[in-house]
């Protein structure tokens, strides 16, 4: 299995993506931004479709569109009270999502693109990762994790106690923009592996399982990263032996992980 | 325990159409517990947020200062009205740990903070709940966790927005007793909003009542 370049690339790509998905997904759930985690890869799909039409790399289109949409979604954060913020964000996310899907369909129509290109965007093409794409994934991973290391404490503080954090001088808008930029980049990276439709599984599945187990932040983040790694590498190995699509295996595995976490939690309770 | 005053200097403050302060000027020495009253929508929460520096006056200023005045400002702790609503699945200890040095850059895991967090939980009487998820706690218990979070910055003054709302009689009594203990042990001063009629004679806490009305802060109502 590891004698082939495309399989080695796939394992390395999944490693980078798991680091991103596991850490950022955990914060996204805590910050009530699950809908954004669902929407951003779809928006990335539209960007990729536009890139195909403009004869650019689909991955570049994915990164640019996810980043623009992510930053747009938090534009209004500063003006809203903490109570109305989640509702405002969901409305904004829904509107951006619907508009971008429409643009994506239009771009594919104008590009007169072959349907397999659209399928790759929607369901991922982990076995087709080039060395160049791996380099971009590595850069995105290093950038996002460095940002996360720098922002770690104020990000967690403002996530758990936003009003207290603001009162003590944490600039919530800087944290929101910085975090959303990381998430947008991460979701574009996840889409390369699991596709626009299923990258949600990789970002939210392991993180949701970690939170269901009631783990502390350090343990939860570690569990989430290892869970994402187990899911993506496990899916690659299963796919090698069964020929099932990787994205399908990741999607099913994420649900399985979440159910298992609930079962384990029930076992641990008196 | 340095004396602290609430300083209102030609302050004009409003929220929407409600005028909270209209060119008001006064200096009020803080004693133990200052209770801020006013009808619904009078702007009590906005007034507290102005003290915290989160809302700016249209003119003048509202601040807390040491007496005699110095460049150093009192450290303020804050407990908002809506508490314990985020990340209910995380254990209590994680919530308080996030508040310790939460404003600094960098990563959040440091074993040395655990002792400090346990002391904070001890001070608010919920150390036994440290490993339990926040979501399973009662309203009164969550409030004590929020208080521990607010104490993490080692404040001189604690600003509490409606800390007694939604608590039953017994829980209110326990909260006031906790405020008294914190004052005695840490020398803290409190400013809190409240709608409730409180019988405070059992608490040996110096109490000042002030009311926001007609563009002024009225003392000794």
- Please report which residue ranges of B81-196 form alpha helices under DSSP H: 92-99, 112-123, 139-151, 169-186
Asked whether residue B12 carries a pLDDT value surpassing 70, the answer given is: yes
Residues B204-208, mean pLDDT to the nearest whole number:
81
Kindly give, in sequence order, each residue whose CB lies less than 8 Å from that of residue B68, ignoring residues fewer than 6 positions away.
none
The C-alpha of B3 sits at a distance from chain A's nearest C-alpha, in angstroms, of 22
Element housing B137 (H / E): none
ipTM: 0.87
Contact A152 B79 (CB under 8 A): no
A26 in contact with B, Cβ within 8 Å: no
Mutate to test the interface with A, among B98, B142, B154 (most CBs of A within 10 A): B98
Q: Which of A30, A150, A168 sits opposite B105 (nearest CB)?
A: A150
Residue of A nearest to B93 (CA): A216
pLDDT at residue B102, as a whole number: 85
Q: Which of the given ranges, B51-65, B99-113, B159-173, has the highest pLDDT on average?
A: B51-65
Element of type H or E holding B77? strand B76-79
Q: What pLDDT, on the 0 to 100 scale, is given for residue A118? A: 66
Q: What size, in residues, is chain A?
A: 270
- The C-alpha angle with vertex B135 and arms to B87 and A148, in degrees rounded to 5, equals 15
Is A167 in CB contact (< 8 Å) with chain B?
A: yes
Coil/strand/helix, residue B217: strand
pLDDT at residue B199 in the model? 66
Distance from CA of B163 to the nearest CA of A (A): 14
Average pLDDT score, chain B: 87
| Mutation target vs B (from A161, A207, A212, A219; most B CBs, 10 A cutoff) | A161
Q: Which residues of B touch A170 (CB under 8 A)?
A: 102-103
**Searching chain B, which residue's CA lies closest to the CA of residue A209?**
B89
Q: A215-249 b/e with 16+ CB inside 10 Å = b?
A: bebeebbbbbbebbbebbebbbebbbeeeebbbbb
Instruction: Give the relative orientation of helices A58-73 and A34-53 as an angle to the nearest 10 degrees.
Output: 140
- Inspect the interface and report whether the beta carbons of B94 and A168 lie closer than 8 Å: no
- CB proximity list for B195: less than 8 A, separation 6 or greater: B37, B162, B165
Is the pLDDT confidence value at A82 over 60? no
Would you state the pLDDT for residue B139?
84
Cα(A38)–Cα(A200) distance, integer angstroms: 5
Strand order in the sheet with B76-79: B76-79, B157-160, B189-193, B33-37, B207-213, B216-219
Give the residue-averaged pLDDT of A98-111. Answer: 78
pLDDT digits (tens, 9 = 90+) for A122-173: 777 788 888 888 898 899 999 999 999 999 999 999 999 988 999 888 998 8
Q: Do A216 and B91 touch (CB under 8 A)?
A: yes
- Percentage of chain B beyond pLDDT 90 is 48
**Using CB atoms, which residue from B49, B87, B108 is nearest to A152?**
B108
Query: For residue A219, what are its two tokens?
Result: 């343990």
* The predicted structure's pLDDT at residue A189: 82
Report the residue of chain B nearest A147, measured CA to CA: B106
- H or E element that contains B166: none
Q: How far is CA A74 from the centre of its chain?
A: 17
In the predicted model, is pLDDT for residue A270 greater than 70?
A: no
| Cβ-defined contact of B109 to A151 (cutoff 8 Å) | no
Are the beta carbons of B108 and A156 separated by less than 8 Å?
Answer: yes
**Range 30-59 of A in CB contact (< 8 A) with B:** 30, 32
Say what the pLDDT of residue B167 is. 79
- Identify which of B90, B95, B108 has the shortest CB distance to residue A153: B108
Q: What is the pLDDT of residues A179-232, one digit of tens each?
A: 999 998 888 887 877 777 667 888 889 999 999 998 999 999 999 999 999 999
Under DSSP, the state recorded for B128 is: G
- The answer to whether residue A147 neighbours chain B at the CB level (below 8 Å) is no
Q: Cβ–Cβ of B102/A168 closer than 8 Å?
A: yes
The pTM for the full model equals 0.86
Most confident of A215-229, B106-120, B153-167: A215-229
Using the Cβ of B109 and the Cβ atoms of chain A, whether some distance falls under 8 Å is answered with yes
Nearest Cα of chain A lies from the Cα of B79 at a distance, in angstroms, of 7
In this structure, what DSSP letter does residue B40 have? T
Task: Determine, for residues B98 and A214 on separate chains, whether the beta-carbon distance falls below 8 Å.
Answer: no
Asked if the Cβ–Cβ distance from A30 to B86 is below 8 Å, we say yes
| Interface contact flag, A211 B98, Cβ < 8 Å | no
The whole-number pLDDT of residue A202 equals: 86
> Is A125 strand, coil or helix?
coil
Convert A120-135 to b/e letters by CB count within 10 Å (16 or more is b): bbbbbbbbebeeebbe
pLDDT at B10: 93
Inter-chain contact A149–B107, Cβ cutoff 8 Å?
Answer: yes
* pLDDT computed for residue B42 by the predictor: 86
Any chain A CB within 8 A of the CB of B135? no
pLDDT average, residue stretch A68-88: 68
Does residue B57 have a pLDDT over 70?
yes
Please name the member of A32, A150, A157 whose beta carbon is closest to the beta carbon of B98: A157
- The least confident of A19-28, A191-200, A209-218, B143-152 is A191-200
**Cis peptide leading into B131, omega within 30 of 0?**
no
| Gap between the Cα atoms of B59 and B53, Å rounded | 14
β-strand partners of B27: B7
Residues of A in contact with B94 (CB under 8 A): 160, 216-217
Best interface-test mutation with B: which of A164, A169, A211 has the largest number of B CBs within 10 A? Answer: A164
What is the pLDDT averaged over residues A79-102?
A: 70
Q: Which residues in chain B (1-40) have CB-CB distances under 8 A to chain A?
A: none
Confidence grade of residue B176 (pLDDT, cut at 50, 70, 90): confident
Per-residue model confidence (pLDDT) at position A203 = 87
What are the b/e assignments for A59-94, b being 16+ CB within 10 Å?
bebbbbbbbebbebbbeebeeeeeeebeebbbebbe
CB-CB neighbors (< 8 A) of A169 in chain B: 103
């Amino acid at each position: 299995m590891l004698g082939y370049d495309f399989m080695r690339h796939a394992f390395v790509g999944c490693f980078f993506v798991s680091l991103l998905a596991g850490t950022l997904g955990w914060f996204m759930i805590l910050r009530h931004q699950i809908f954004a985690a669902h929407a951003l890869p779809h928006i990335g799909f539209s960007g990729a479709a536009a890139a195909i039409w403009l004869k650019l790399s689909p991955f570049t289109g994915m990164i640019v569109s996810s980043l623009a949409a992510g930053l747009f979604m938090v534009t209004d954060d500063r003006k809203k009270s903490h109570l109305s913020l989640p509702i405002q964000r969901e409305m904004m996310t829904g509107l951006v999502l619907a508009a971008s899907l429409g643009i994506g369909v239009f771009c594919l129509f104008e590009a007169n693109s072959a349907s397999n290109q659209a399928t790759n965007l929607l369901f991922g093409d982990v076995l087709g990762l080039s060395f160049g794409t791996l380099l971009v994934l590595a850069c995105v991973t290093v950038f996002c994790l460095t940002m996360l290391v720098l922002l770690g404490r104020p990000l967690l503080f403002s996530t758990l106690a936003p009003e207290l954090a603001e009162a003590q001088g944490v600039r919530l808008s800087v944290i929101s923009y910085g975090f959303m930029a990381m998430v947008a980049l991460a979701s574009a990276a996840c889409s390369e592996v699991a596709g626009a439709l299923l990258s949600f599984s990789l970002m939210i599945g392991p993180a949701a399982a970690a939170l269901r187990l009631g783990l502390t932040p350090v343990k939860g983040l570690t569990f989430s990263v290892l869970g994402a790694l187990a899911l993506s590498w496990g899916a690659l190995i299963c796919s090698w032996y069964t020929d099932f699509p990787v994205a399908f295996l990741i999607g099913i595995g994420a649900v399985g992980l979440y159910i298992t976490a609930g079962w384990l939690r029930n076992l641990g309770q008196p | 325990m340095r004396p602290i005053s609430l300083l209102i200097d030609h302050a004009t403050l409003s929220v929407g159409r409600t005028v909270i302060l209209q060119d008001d000027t006064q200096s009020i020495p803080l004693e133990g517990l200052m209770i801020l009253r006013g009808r619904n929508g009078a702007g009590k929460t906005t007034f507290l947020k102005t003290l915290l520096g989160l809302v700016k006056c249209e003119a003048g200023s509202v601040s807390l200062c040491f007496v005699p005045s110095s460049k150093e400002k009192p450290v303020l702790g804050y407990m908002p009205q809506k508490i314990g609503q985020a990340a209910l699945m995380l254990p209590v200890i994680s919530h308080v740990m996030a508040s310790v040095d939460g404003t600094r850059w960098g990563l959040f895991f440091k074993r040395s903070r655990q002792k400090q967090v346990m002391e904070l939980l001890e001070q608010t009487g919920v150390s036994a709940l440290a490993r339990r998820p926040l979501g399973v706690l009662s309203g009164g218990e969550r409030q004590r966790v929020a208080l521990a979070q607010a104490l993490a910055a080692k404040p001189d003054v604690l600003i509490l927005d409606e800390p007694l709302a939604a608590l039953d009689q017994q829980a209110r009594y326990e909260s006031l007793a906790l405020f008294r203990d914190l004052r005695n042990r840490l020398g803290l001063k409190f400013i809190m909003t409240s709608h409730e009629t409180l019988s405070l004679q059992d608490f040996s806490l110096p109490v000042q009542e002030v009311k926001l009305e007609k563009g002024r802060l009225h003392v000794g109502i």
